[in-house]
Amino acid sequence: MCGIIGYVGKEANALDVLLKGLSSLEYRGYDSVGVAMFDRMHRLSTVKCAGRVAELEKRVQGSGDSYCGIGHTRWATHGAPSDINSHPHGSANLQIVHNGIIENYACLKKELTELGYTFVSDTDTEVAAKLLDYYYMKRRGHFDAVCETIERLEGSYALAIVFADDSGTIYAARKDSPLIIGIGEDANYIASDITALLFKTRDYYSLEDGDIACVKADCISIYNKGIEVKREKQTAKWDHVAAEKGGYDHFMLKEIHEEPEAIIRTLRPRIKDMLPDFSADKLDEDALKRISRLHIVACGTAMHAGLIGKFMFEKYAGLPVSVEIASEFRYNDPIIDENDLVIIVSQSGETADSLAALRLAKEKGASTLGIVNVIGSTIANEAHSVLYTYAGPEIAVASTKAYSVQTSLLTLLAIRVSLLRSRIDEKEAREFTHELYVDAPRAIKEMLERASEIKALAGNFAKSEDLFFIGRGKDYYLSCEGSLKLKEISYIHSEAYAAGELKHGTISLIDDGVPVIALATESRLYGKMESNIREVKSRGAEVTLITNAESEFKSADHVIDILPISERLAFLPVATVLQLIAYFTSTERGCDVDKPRNLAKSVTVE
């Protein structure tokens, strides 16, 4: 996510506050940075660049200090990282910094172009800035111009705004993207979160959706729908390190809790009238209709997300899908041609094996599509087309929210392809989309509220040296991810096994007390899974069952019954449960959850 900071005060130390605040926001992940400040002659100027805060510091050296300014660290969502796409954006009259996604930016851009506006960047934020300039130029007062602009914006935003002819005020507005007003002595602040301000103040107001704040050195006014409102003053109890994690003990736990919002943020721009709509992504839908085979190629968790995609495309779009480990694909001389679509799934967009697989697929004439979380990354740039996930930066090495958004986006794409290939009608597509966009985030939230129940179970696993996951169908694919999560952060040896395959060898490893986690969410396979549970229990296993139908099972020792959700999407709350099991097991064992031994967040070498 982007980071926002703002200062207005009676002392000329805006630059110092902005730079310190931006450095405090670096943990959020970013690719570019910028500030807009008034000099002592009240002239507004902007300095911005791709790269780190340190680069910005070099560029602002000697620029003197200021009584008022705003700053921004950018996590690109529209437009690759570059100086010109960095924030702030604006005009001679104003400057804006923004965190969020303006979903109707394309039509607003067209309208403003017809009004004579020109654009220098590829960002949605510049569109918001020019729209504000339009209302400002229509002789609207600052506040009224902000209100009229906000009225026109669709999507999510946290905005900080300064007008060139008012060096004593910062305007702030929020919808769906957090924004706070820091309360100081003879100064006030704006920030994406309190982390950026702890060096100055612990007291703040959290803006609510629809709030517009006018912030001056000695007063803060907050309005909602034109009426002045009072927001409760809050005081941060966290230290800086805890604040970076939003009060969670680890980035991984914070990111697991971000999953519902991350899914909604990723799907929302691709749903119109509760049907999949990828027109904003400019997908080649003729190619999607024409292809005869689909390959999903990735590594690690991204490959496991591909397995869920396989299930969805095969079941709903009737497309044969092969899921390939990228490091194998690139050396196995795969049989692909122009009738194939190769989807490369990658959170970082920089994984060496996945990038090599992409290049090989292109050489062989296949169409390629990247599903990537980092805007402007190499895989995103080199694939023929790209669908960005909007999970925000994933700091923990163990991938969690990326998996949730990758599987959700693959499912939405499978629904779209099913419609294109007339495999389902609009009624079913609308139902399925509603389940994905509304029910699944809710089900994940409900499982997150039961974290203490899951934590209690994890205590059993922490003492184990071997642990088995078993499942059938989609649950087997899910077992693969649950096993990887556990291994990589708790260092417990674990295997995921197709439950029906156990008797062909691995069951010899089951002995007294060996923990087995069984997944059963597909009704057609409940009976088979009950038999497999009995099979391992009879050899001494201690079985924890994660299911959506507790009453169908009699033999498990422990049961986590997920709350009602369509069984075709039960994998999403179950994935969250598996991530929490891995997390709590790891913390119980005293492992380094966010930075496990031997691992890197992005494997950019073979």
Of residues 86 and 483, the one with the C-beta less far from ligand AGP: 483
> Residue 577: CA atoms inside 13 Å, Cβ hemisphere, count?
29
Residue 162, strand partner residues: 95
Distance of alpha carbon 98 from alpha carbon 129, whole angstroms: 10
Write down the residue that tokens 């690719």 correspond to.
31
CB neighbourhood size of 185 (10 A): 12
Of residues 124 and 350, the one with the C-beta less far from ligand AGP: 350
Distance of alpha carbon 173 from alpha carbon 156, whole angstroms: 11
DSSP character for 564?
Answer: S
Distance of alpha carbon 301 from alpha carbon 67, whole angstroms: 48
Judged by the rule CB under 6 A, the positions of this chain that interact with ligand AGP are 299-302, 346-348, 351, 354, 397-399, 488, 599, 602-603
Q: How many degrees, rounded to 5, is the angle at CA 442 between CA 153 and CA 346?
A: 75
* Sign, CA torsion 206/212/215/220: negative
Catalytic sites, residue numbers:
2, 601
Of residues 88 and 300, the one with the C-beta less far from ligand AGP: 300
Of residues 346 and 433, the one with the C-beta less far from ligand AGP: 346
Of residues 169 and 327, the one with the C-beta less far from ligand AGP: 327
| Residue, CB closest to ligand AGP | 300
How far is Cα of residue 165 from the mean position of the Cα atoms in its chain? Answer: 37
Provide the minimum distance between the beta carbon of 356 and ligand AGP in the complex, in angstroms, as a whole number: 12
Distance of alpha carbon 531 from alpha carbon 537, whole angstroms: 10
Provide the minimum distance between the beta carbon of 433 and ligand AGP in the complex, in angstroms, as a whole number: 25
Provide the minimum distance between the beta carbon of 136 and ligand AGP in the complex, in angstroms, as a whole number: 42
Distance of alpha carbon 121 from alpha carbon 83, whole angstroms: 9
Strands 385-388 and 367-372: parallel
Check: CB of residue 68 under 8 Å from CB of residue 10. no
Provide the minimum distance between the beta carbon of 106 and ligand AGP in the complex, in angstroms, as a whole number: 28
Amino acid at 467: L
Provide the minimum distance between the beta carbon of 299 and ligand AGP in the complex, in angstroms, as a whole number: 4
Provide the minimum distance between the beta carbon of 397 and ligand AGP in the complex, in angstroms, as a whole number: 5
Check: CB of residue 514 under 8 Å from CB of residue 542. yes
Distance of alpha carbon 354 from alpha carbon 295, whole angstroms: 12
Of residues 195 and 301, the one with the C-beta less far from ligand AGP: 301
